[in-house]
Structure 1
């Protein structure tokens, strides 16, 4: 759990008692490569901190899957809209690699918010960060063409290019794998 504390301590200095209270509400889970973490149609009940691994967000479809986000080690992840509203998820989270995560349930997170000042601050920080990331992605999808979105990954999200299979990168930038191959040939 040291990675979670390290993540938190970059944002706010925790009192030892606050950290102990927060840490006591997390449980360790391990997911196999390609295991579904949150199935479509089920309510997200856990906020997860990825200790190691990569998680993919996608909309399952009979014809093709639509990948729209990734989370990497030392990041929080979940089907956040489902988690907040406690309604069924419209998409799935899948471990792309063997993944170790520390999870806190919705109810336990509410306790952390209610009983610690740091928890409230950290929750707000995480929500704001997620909102900014989603807004930036939306703008990129509307403003830039596929080639520009692909090139943007080099500077803004190099982990995606380094660790994610090309078929998921293609879906993430909104093109077919064949179109991504053409883009890659154009820029090499």
Structure 2
């Protein structure tokens, strides 16, 4: 929890009393590799902070899953649209590696919003982080070639290439594993 407290102090300037109110609602959970944190059709009830691990967001498909996001240590993760609306989610979330999360439930976060000075600010920042990830991905898909998207991933997140199966990376950048293999061969 020290990592999360430091993050909140540095990012939000959270007071000790607000931290006490917020942290009292947090639940620590560990998930083995390949664990589903959320399955399509279920409602997202948590906003989570990743203490360790990598999470994949994807649309299940009988032929090939469509990976559209990854979340890493030090970031918030949630099926945020389902979390906000409390409606069933149309995608799934899976721990790619052993994952450690600090989670807060929808109801507890609403209580923090009402009982602390900084609660709404924290919620806004989490929402902004989710929005920026989504918009950056959309722009990259519309603007960059598959090779450019791969190279960006490689330079911005080199740990991604080492810890995430290539079939997920290929899906994430919008190509087949065979096309990714050709790109990797061409740039090596």
TM-score (normalizing by structure 1): 0.96
> How many residues of Structure 1 are paired with residues of Structure 2 in the alignment?
188
Q: Contact conserved, 1:11 with 1:122, CA < 8 A, in 2?
A: no
1:26–1:104 CA contact under 8 A, matched in 2: yes
- C-alpha deviation, 1:159, in angstroms: 3.1
Q: What aligned pairs does 1:151-166 form with structure 2 within 5 A after superposition?
A: 151-166=151-166
- What stretches of structure 1 of length at least 5 have no aligned partner? none
**Deviation of 1:129 (Å):** 2.0
Q: Secondary structure in 1 aligned to 2:12?
A: coil
- Moved beyond 3 Å, runs of 4+: none
RMSD after superposition: 1.1
CA distance in 1, matches of 2:133, 2:27: 27
Question: 2:32·2:95 contact (CA, 8 Å) conserved in 1?
Answer: yes
Shift of 1:154: 2.5
Q: Does 1:25 align with 2:51?
A: no
SS in 2 for 1:63: coil
Unaligned runs of 5+ in 2: none
Counting only pairs closer than 5 Å after superposition, residues 90-129 of structure 1 correspond to structure 2 as 90-129=90-129
1:16 aligns with 2:16: yes
56-65 or 125-134: bigger deviation: 125-134
